[in-house]
Structure 1
Amino acid sequence: MLLRTLRLSTSRVLGTLFAFTHLGVKGVFKQKAKDGVQVCLMLDRRQALCPHEAPLVAELLEVGVEIYVPVGSVLQFKKGNIVDDVIFITGSANATKKGRSRTSRITSRQVKVRASVLELRVLITASDVLHSWAIHSF
């Protein structure tokens, strides 16, 4: 359902996620940015700059996706999207049977703190990714 909703976006996609565990999601973000849709993502700083994730982040930056990370040592583990001003929240739980049974409780907490978390962010650039990549490569 999320991929279908993302594919139908026409103006703006705002997303929060921890990691690109489903490459189809990254592909849709990338294609939408190429199509002129504004795509802004908030990722976890450590995850976005780690060696296996940095190349994916660099690809998204190249096509114009804005990528933000929380300020400080905050763990960004929320998973949700606002697609064309319609909220699509998946919560912080993973898509497992146990995760789905707990998502509504976790999501309701996130909605209350969401505004303050989004204010505590910084934009990362391709040079941030390249710098991190150089540190971790041999």
Structure 2
Amino acid sequence: MTATPARLDLPARRRRHARLIAALTATVGACASAAQALYQPVADAPPGQEAVVADPLPVVYLGHTAAPLLEAARVEDEARWPAAVAERSASAAPMPDLNRPRRSAPSPGRRPPAAPRSVRRRCRGGGVR
């Protein structure tokens, strides 16, 4: 059996993504710990107790640290494997512009679509009732 080049690249690809996977795994673990710290007091409280003291600080901390941790792993990945990152960037499809409106504005000579019948019925007689 002859190995294809893509098959030979698998160990290198796994090594290249190891930092990202490790950072993501650490983030998932921190998320589980934060959820446990927040909900364990609620689970341990007696059924008739109305108020439970829980510490939301681990969740807040995670919210502030997860994105920078993953971004740092991505930057390390780019610095360690520049040729692979450049190749991937060159072959990637362009990102869509999410800031542009989805529909284009109607042309000056064209009327906008009519309102549904239920809206037109309510608006008869000179105004909204």
- Structure with greater Cα Rg: 2
TM-score w.r.t. structure 1 length? 0.21
TM-score w.r.t. structure 2 length? 0.23
- The structure carrying a bigger helix percent of its residues is 2
Larger RCO, structures 1/2 (Cα 8 Å, 6+ apart): 1
